[in-house]
Chain A
Amino acid sequence: GQQVMQIPQYQHVQEGEDFTTYCNSSTTLSNIQWYKQRPGGHPVFLIQLVKSGEVKKQKRLTFQFGEAKKNSSLHITATQTTDVGTYFCAGSLRDYKLSFGAGTTVTVRA
């Protein structure tokens, strides 16, 4: 079955630094979505990417969908304590459900 792999599993970041988390699929995706889950909370939808090579920005977050539509990345600049949480990517294969990656858990050192 489809697998979406996400790396790294953990990211420890100094406040103010940048970091990137990566998502890779074994098959071509129709779209990819990103979610954020704060500690003790529920996942919250951030963004959906549909087109090959698409890049979208949300303030300090930059999301990219690969040319082959098999990989994606989330880059956060100038990390803040509010960025703490787990970031999940989720791929769609034009069926009825998403395949979620295992998530990247981000901690921030002040």
Chain B
Amino acid sequence: NAGVTQTPKFRILKIGQSMTLQCTQDMNHNYMYWYRQDPGMGLKLIYYSVGAGITDKGEVPNGYNVSRSTTEDFPLRLELAAPSQTSVYFCASSYGDRGGPYGYTFGSGTRLTVV
């Protein structure tokens, strides 16, 4: 099992450009998440999904969009990139039930710089 795979690992964007960060998992997890982590800071939730076709906003959704057409894939779209979106982006997945999510498996991250 590959776990959670994120691509690309690094990217430099110019202000106003758009891009999609890819995330795929092969563990058949129902829950998936996108976080951003600024240098020396904690994790901030951008969007999450509890199953295919269902997405919801986290703490910092502005400037981002997601879709979940399959259980495996949860891409994050950045529209009109701004310097404030310079960060490391982590995708995570977990199994979840009425008790909440179980341990997250994180991808290795995408380091994004907007110049």
What residues of chain A have their CB less than 8 Å away from a CB belonging to chain B? 30-31, 33, 35, 41-45, 48, 50, 88, 90, 92-98, 100-103, 105
Contacts and interface: CB of A to CB of B under 8 A. Distances in A.
Nearest to A93: B100
B44 to A, nearest CB: 9
Contact of A42 (B50, B101, B107): B107
B98 A94 contact: yes
Nearest to B4: A42
A104 to B, nearest CB: 11
A43 B106 contact: yes
A42 B100 contact: no
A101 B42 CA distance: 7
Contacts of B74: none
Contacts of A44: 106
Interface in B78-115: 90, 92, 96, 98-109
A100 B107 CA distance: 17
Contacts of A95: 100
Given A42-B109, A96-B50, A97-B58, A88 B100 contact: no
B45 interface: yes
Given A90-B104, A103-B42, 12 more contacts: A35-B104, A41-B108, A43-B90, A45-B105, A92-B99, A96-B50, A96-B96, A97-B31, A97-B33, A98-B101, A100-B42, A102-B41
Contacts, number: 59
Contact of B104 (A31, A43, A50, A101): A43
The 6 closest A-B pairs by CB, nearest first: A92-B100, A45-B103, A102-B42, A42-B106, A100-B43, A96-B50
B71 to A, nearest CB: 15
B70 to A, nearest CB: 18
B29 to A, nearest CB: 12
A44 B106 CA distance: 7
